[in-house]
Chain A
Amino acid sequence: MSDDPTVSPRRSARDGRAAGNHDAASASSASAPRDSAVPGSARIADPERGGATTTGGVLDGSGRTVLVTGASGMLGGDVARVLLARGWRVRVFQRGHAPVAEREGVDEVLGSVTDPEDVARALDGVDDVVHLAAKVSFTGAWEEFVRVNVTGTRVLLCQAQNAGVKNVVFVSSPSVAHTGVSIEGAGAEPADPGKARGNYARSKAAAELLALSMDGQRDLKVAAVRPHIVWGPGDTQLVERVADRAAAGRMPNLDHGAAMIDTTYIDNASEGIVRALERIDVVHGRALVLTNGEPRPVGELIARMCRATGSEAPTRSIPGGLARLAGKVIETVWPHLPAKLRTGDGEPPMTEFLAEQLSTAHWFDQRETRELLDWTPSVSLDEGFSRLAAYYQDHPRPNRRTGSVSLDRVEDVADEQRARAEESSVASGEESGNATTDLQSVRTVV
């Protein structure tokens, strides 16, 4: 289904749409985002097409092979699914088996992104790459982040060049440009490894700069897409943790839960990433932030997730400033604690980074993204929540206590969801010679 490209201002006025439709400037630029920005009325578009309004000037997947790294995570798996539906031959690459590989038309190579030989094997005969594999964590040694995120990206891109790959979409995170203040209606600012918060964001920032710097070298086109907080049915990283913590009465609502944040429903995230590959001629060399474009107070999001999964909404409130201080202390002490004291999933209960994320605004101006991709999200938040509720009616959450003291991550779940992929794709122990170089290069950037 495609949108009527000739929406007349007059008709819009009768529809009671927003004012200003009559203005020439807004009418000309309004073709894509207007209707989709209206919640509840989002077109349930052809799931294989997303909300794309035109098909002209896009890369056609038929006859092409795409490599998806980190496909064992929710997002990676879904990206593979969408690519497959759009006609690509899909190969997935990570350390352990990815469920999506069981589909027809998907083949799988197991290995580590930091191992040039593994990577070369995966890239054999590949035309396009979507790179999602990364180390995602709020703690851990800086060297380890550099090794996986920066060196891994370097290895992948260098080998891609050697293998004659044409197009690469690097999946990044808005945190690469986040310096700790609130973000309200901003676009995609340049990645800043020096100012980004935490090891994960800093290493991803360096990796994004590295990836984009290779755009245009030897016919390679590279684009970066930064989906912000991806969630959806079966999402163990955000949705189910929120549900479990809420059920256990452990989910504090920071301040009054009023910080407004953007999120991305899983289908929109994977369609947007695939769309970036399709529109690579337009978007290469750029970084695009990707969201649903429907910011909500964090408290409302958590409450709706709880409701959709059948749990109680949180009522506890920890002031943001206090949480930040506590986070700082914990972040410093945590790595030195004996393992037996670090219960749960191994993450500290609340890092400063996370507290900041939950207590400051993070919402973005999606105009540029939508214009460049010529695409709008196909699943509204409302639709997303009803899909979530439908899913959890069929898959009820056991009402259990987790015994964990950790707090769920809301920020960068897009990356978290790839954690599993990363765990399987990161070669354990073995040091790559490239890593040392990347450490140094990142240090000089920092």
Chain B
Amino acid sequence: MSPQHPGAERLPFTETALPGVDPAWSRTLTVAATAPVEPVAGRRRRWHVLDNADAIAASGRTPQGIVLAVHGNPTWSYLWRDVLRAAQEAERPWRVVAVDQLDMGFSERTGLFRRLEDRVQDLGDLTHALGIDDADVPVVTLAHDWGGLISQGWAQEHPEIHAATVLTNTAVHHDNAEPIPSALRLALNRAVHEPLTSGSTAFLDTTLALCDPTASKAVKRAYKAPYTSRERREGIAHFVADIPAAADHPSHAAYERIAGRMSAREVPTLLLWGTGDPVFQQRYLDDLMRRAPHADVHRFEGAKHLLPEARDIATPLLTWLDERFGGVGSVLAAHREQRSRGRADFVPFFAELDARRTDDSPAVVDMGPVATTVDGSAPSLNVERSVSWAQLSGSVDRLAVALLRTGVRPGDRVNLMVPPGSMLTTLIYACLRIGAVIVVADQGLGRKGLTRALRGSSPRWFIGIRKALVGARALGWPGTRISADAMDPVSKKLLGVTHTVAELMDSVTTVDQAEIPAVDADAEAAVLFTSGSTGPAKGVVYTHRQMAGMRDTIRDTYGLRAGTGLVAGFAPFALLGPALGAASVTPDMDVTSPKTLTARALAQATMAIRATAVFASPAAIANVLATADELSPAERDALARVDLMLSAGAPIPEELLTRLQELMPAAQLHTPYGMTEALPLTDVSLDVIRAAREDTQRGVEGAGRGVCVGTPVEGAQLGVLPLRADGSVSSEIVTTPGVTGEIVARAPHAKDHYDRLWITERASDLTPGWHRTGDVGHFDARERLWYEGRLAHVITMSHGPVSSVAAEHAAQTVPGVGRVAVVGVGPTGSQSAVAVIETVPAASGPALADAELSERVRATVDMATGLPVSAVLVIPEQPTDIRHNSKIDRAELSDWAERALATGKLSAL
């Protein structure tokens, strides 16, 4: 858009080119200044603004309203150039007036120290002069950095025309309980303040560096163009010095007043936030969200301080404005209205606990390390802990009351960092009971992913085992800390722990049920996280009604009645046992690594409660099969009694299931398909998988080309949005056999929303009432769904879009080939398919497959799917997510393959 003929991007004030600026926007005007700082009131000051009004008028259109864009320090109106352009080119245009504040940008250097109060007044003088005050269209403030406070001050002075607030990486209030961010503290220090801010371009340079991806040199030059000398930079210095760090600061009163009034007026609010900002950190977003709880929030993962520079904020902004003021209606609202709420009345997730207050049979059992016997006789089971229903119910009640008394309120987020087992179960149910929102981020996200997820979801409370508390201290995980482990006073102090769970439990002797408030079925209940194999982990929020929906779906689909015993070897389902009224046992394994579950550990867990149902991940199953030789006869018998086996997370090949069936001959083997946003959506058993394969061979319409994931579970509706040639999807939901498209689902147990990801949430709701899964697949003539991979991984070849799963399965059948990922390289619409394979035995490093192997893989894939594979690359091991050990990171792979095939260099992955 921006590169026009070179002269077009210059303004008369500077020799420096200003990429992206249309000179037609530039406007100067003189305005009578009434700010208190002016020695002579009414002194005329020269302002520079970028204003697209004329450009819109020239195209013969009328703007929907006015966006008053206020920059911070040390930027200028240049920050908003993309917004100006997008707003002007939009179908329903908006006038954007981006100001250069006095002493900043190309506005006048007044030589006065303009403080917050002055700047609010200045902005009022300007909007008055521009006629904005008398406009009969909505005025929306858009601000960044300290522009946030100034724009809020202005909004409070102009309530009759101010219609909405949009803020990006800013703060309206600093809670003095927390220290000012170190980056700012340095700038405020008297000794360094002058040299940093006006004496040199250091402050400018530092700010411009807070942009990810890095701004180009030309753009950086443009930002610095108005600040070429000490005199021209004085405004920057004053801005920094005006940060009201202490109560005796001259601007403190104005500051407190503006911040205080923000909560008083509820106008539509959009908060767009770069998460990597060392100055305006998450706590400032939390503060804004407290002041505007109704705000739509989107956190841009990885973006730093200069968010408007690093990310496209214009598109979501205009979409939001359109929904608010353009009469097009809110996608989220339509989605909420039309989605499934389930047929049955709401029964709280924890209802089974209440029903079993007097039941002394085991509810939750934790297994210790596998006991071995030398002579192969039946081993004694190493049960580490066994909690009866009566005990569990009592503990949950006591802990619920204790948490309330400690200050945990309904709606408070509580981060639980406790491994699966009886302690986690107690904590989860106690939190849900009082309406506290559980935040469950497993270590499968990795340390960085975990920190990102936790910071982003702002839990008020942190309950963890010692190791987690150490991490919390070291990595700055938020929340008031409660220890799940018993802890001595020294450790408590060291780790900043306020309470231990044991202390809390002991503090409550009798429970008065009246003390526990009833839960609101439609209030938030849990925040779970996606695995991160498809981009940064997203927080997924469930309400109590949706949690209950998940329980009911599992119960009704698999006939899991109260009294069943189940092995909880798969984290998301581990919390379901008590809700189902089923006794659950946690096998001995490293829960952070599913593949550590051994056959013996599984068998012993089964024996401990005579479990007949097993939940395990695909990676765990692979290891169970690999270690099956170690089983004693008694253990084999225990597994032979299992009648239901559930494995979710990733598809399991039929061959693996067949081997598992030998180990569990009585079991129905099910591999439900679903995702963190809706689990499960379909169910498929080994029998159905076999039938589907036979149907493929018989040529049943739609059978084949992917992984058969079966039919919808109880309560779920599924369909697909057919793929278009460019890889995008159509809007009509179909279930026509053989038609490939994005899988959409409507179910009472689908997520409520993505946490603080307004743009992502809206995208997933574009088919109102349905969740867009981001997966692709198709139905066959027997109403079975076939999964074909991720929408983002669809390869857009010149003959149309192609999903990869069928090709991958075909390639895996070539002797000597391990796991395969088929990815696209090249531009959309003319991509080329590349097979990235593991070999057996594994290669020592990345390499081009030799010509024979390449031909075999190519011919096999061609035969099975008709997909032309251009290159076959060998890697030692596929990059996978930690949680499931099974989802291949195709985004990373395709980047790598693209690089390798473009440059010829096979770098390490």
- Shortest distance between the CB of B124 and any CB in chain A (Å): 52
Chain B residues positioned under 8 Å from A257 (CB to CB)? 848, 904
Within 8 A of A (CB), among B825-866: 825-827, 829-832, 846-851, 854-855, 858-859, 862, 864-866
Chain A residues positioned under 8 Å from B704 (CB to CB)? 16
Q: A312-351: contact bitstring with B at CB < 8 Å (1 yes, 0 no)?
A: 0100000110000000000000000000000000000000
B826 and A256 contact, CB distance less than 8 A: no
Chain A residues positioned under 8 Å from B710 (CB to CB)? none
A297 and B902 contact, CB distance less than 8 A: no
Chain A residues positioned under 8 Å from B738 (CB to CB)? 10, 13, 22
Bound CA span A34–B865, Å: 13
Asked whether A294 and B868 contact (CB < 8 A) given A33-B799, A182-B903, A363-B826, the answer is: yes
> A104-112, A140-148, A234-242, A354-362: which one contacts chain B?
A354-362
Given A184-B832, A359-B904, A365-B830: 16 more A-B contacts, CB < 8 Å? A13-B701, A19-B788, A23-B723, A26-B724, A33-B799, A37-B868, A38-B867, A256-B905, A258-B904, A260-B870, A295-B870, A295-B871, A296-B870, A300-B851, A300-B854, A367-B798
A16 and B705 contact, CB distance less than 8 A: yes
- Shortest distance between the CB of A315 and any CB in chain B (Å): 11
Bound CA span A40–B906, Å: 28
12 interchain pairs, CB-CB under 8 A: A14-B699, A14-B701, A20-B725, A38-B867, A40-B859, A182-B903, A296-B870, A297-B901, A300-B872, A365-B798, A367-B829, A367-B830
Closest chain A residue to B806 by CB distance? A16
Checking A33, A255, A313, A361 against B851 with a beta-carbon cut-off of 8 angstroms, the contacting residue is: A313
B470 part of interface (Cβ distance < 8 Å): no
Chain B residues positioned under 8 Å from A295 (CB to CB)? 832, 870-871
Checking A21, A38, A259 against B902 with a beta-carbon cut-off of 8 angstroms, the contacting residue is: A259
Bound CA span A159–B826, Å: 42
Within 8 A of A (CB), among B775-802: 776, 778, 788, 794, 797-802
Interface centre among B736, B798, B831, B862, by most chain A C-beta atoms within 10 angstroms, is: B798
Closest chain B residue to A306 by CB distance? B851
A39 part of interface (Cβ distance < 8 Å): yes
- Shortest distance between the CB of A153 and any CB in chain B (Å): 30
A303 and B851 contact, CB distance less than 8 A: yes
Chain B residues positioned under 8 Å from A359 (CB to CB)? 903-905
Closest chain A residue to B832 by CB distance? A295
Chain B residues positioned under 8 Å from A303 (CB to CB)? 850-851
A33 and B906 contact, CB distance less than 8 A: no
B586 part of interface (Cβ distance < 8 Å): no
Q: B894-907: contact bitstring with A at CB < 8 Å (1 yes, 0 no)?
A: 00001011111110
Chain B residues positioned under 8 Å from A187 (CB to CB)? 830
B712 part of interface (Cβ distance < 8 Å): no
Within 8 A of B (CB), among A167-191: 182, 184-187
Interface centre among B802, B849, B864, B871, by most chain A C-beta atoms within 10 angstroms, is: B871
- Shortest distance between the CB of A377 and any CB in chain B (Å): 13
B871 and A19 contact, CB distance less than 8 A: no
B905 and A366 contact, CB distance less than 8 A: no
A184 and B826 contact, CB distance less than 8 A: yes
A363 and B832 contact, CB distance less than 8 A: yes
Chain A residues positioned under 8 Å from B722 (CB to CB)? 22-23
A21 and B848 contact, CB distance less than 8 A: no
B901 and A260 contact, CB distance less than 8 A: yes
B788 and A182 contact, CB distance less than 8 A: no
A15 and B725 contact, CB distance less than 8 A: no
B803 part of interface (Cβ distance < 8 Å): yes
A298 and B797 contact, CB distance less than 8 A: no
B168 part of interface (Cβ distance < 8 Å): no
Q: B641-665: contact bitstring with A at CB < 8 Å (1 yes, 0 no)?
A: 0000000000000000000000000
Bound CA span A296–B798, Å: 16
Chain B residues positioned under 8 Å from A307 (CB to CB)? 851
Chain B residues positioned under 8 Å from A25 (CB to CB)? 724-725
Chain B residues positioned under 8 Å from A365 (CB to CB)? 798, 827, 829-830
Bound CA span A330–B858, Å: 39
B699 and A39 contact, CB distance less than 8 A: no
- Shortest distance between the CB of B775 and any CB in chain A (Å): 13
A18 and B797 contact, CB distance less than 8 A: yes
Within 8 A of B (CB), among A1-48: 10, 13-23, 25-26, 29-30, 33-34, 37-41
A39 and B858 contact, CB distance less than 8 A: yes
- Shortest distance between the CB of B876 and any CB in chain A (Å): 14
Chain B residues positioned under 8 Å from A49 (CB to CB)? none
A23 and B868 contact, CB distance less than 8 A: no
Bound CA span A37–B868, Å: 7
B169 part of interface (Cβ distance < 8 Å): no
Chain B residues positioned under 8 Å from A297 (CB to CB)? 848, 871, 901
Chain A residues positioned under 8 Å from B850 (CB to CB)? 303
B862 and A41 contact, CB distance less than 8 A: yes
A20 and B802 contact, CB distance less than 8 A: yes
A260 and B868 contact, CB distance less than 8 A: no
Closest chain B residue to A32 by CB distance? B799
Bound CA span A25–B674, Å: 30
- Shortest distance between the CB of A43 and any CB in chain B (Å): 14
Number of B residues near A (Cβ < 8 Å) is: 61
Chain A residues positioned under 8 Å from B798 (CB to CB)? 33, 37, 293, 365-367
Asked whether A16 and B866 contact (CB < 8 A) given A184-B902, A260-B832, the answer is: yes
Asked whether A38 and B868 contact (CB < 8 A) given A300-B854, A320-B904, the answer is: yes
B827 and A184 contact, CB distance less than 8 A: yes
Checking A14, A20, A294, A367 against B801 with a beta-carbon cut-off of 8 angstroms, the contacting residue is: A20
A254 part of interface (Cβ distance < 8 Å): yes
Asked whether A360 and B902 contact (CB < 8 A) given A18-B865, A20-B802, A38-B866, the answer is: yes
A304 part of interface (Cβ distance < 8 Å): yes
B848 and A22 contact, CB distance less than 8 A: no
B701 and A23 contact, CB distance less than 8 A: no
Closest chain B residue to A259 by CB distance? B904
Closest chain B residue to A26 by CB distance? B800
Chain A residues positioned under 8 Å from B794 (CB to CB)? 19
B862 and A30 contact, CB distance less than 8 A: no
Q: B342-360: contact bitstring with A at CB < 8 Å (1 yes, 0 no)?
A: 0000000000000000000
Within 8 A of A (CB), among B874-909: 898, 900-906
Asked whether A185 and B854 contact (CB < 8 A) given A13-B738, A258-B873, the answer is: no
B740 part of interface (Cβ distance < 8 Å): yes
A185 and B827 contact, CB distance less than 8 A: yes
A384 part of interface (Cβ distance < 8 Å): no
B739 part of interface (Cβ distance < 8 Å): yes
Bound CA span A319–B776, Å: 40
A-B pairs with lowest CB-CB distance, top 4? A185-B826, A259-B904, A365-B830, A26-B800
Bound CA span A400–B437, Å: 78
Q: A243-258: contact bitstring with B at CB < 8 Å (1 yes, 0 no)?
A: 0000000000011111
Closest chain B residue to A36 by CB distance? B799
Chain B residues positioned under 8 Å from A20 (CB to CB)? 723-725, 740, 800-802
B702 part of interface (Cβ distance < 8 Å): yes
Chain B residues positioned under 8 Å from A37 (CB to CB)? 797-799, 868
Bound CA span A445–B568, Å: 73
Closest chain B residue to A29 by CB distance? B725
Bound CA span A187–B829, Å: 11
Bound CA span A208–B776, Å: 45
Checking B866, B870, B902 against A15 with a beta-carbon cut-off of 8 angstroms, the contacting residue is: B866
Closest chain A residue to B737 by CB distance? A13
Bound CA span A299–B866, Å: 24
Bound CA span A38–B825, Å: 17
Bound CA span A10–B848, Å: 37
Q: B495-521: contact bitstring with A at CB < 8 Å (1 yes, 0 no)?
A: 000000000000000000000000000
Checking B730, B776, B801, B865 against A16 with a beta-carbon cut-off of 8 angstroms, the contacting residue is: B865
- Shortest distance between the CB of B393 and any CB in chain A (Å): 51
Checking B800, B825, B906 against A19 with a beta-carbon cut-off of 8 angstroms, the contacting residue is: B800
Asked whether A299 and B862 contact (CB < 8 A) given A37-B798, A256-B906, the answer is: no
B904 and A34 contact, CB distance less than 8 A: no
Chain B residues positioned under 8 Å from A360 (CB to CB)? 902-904
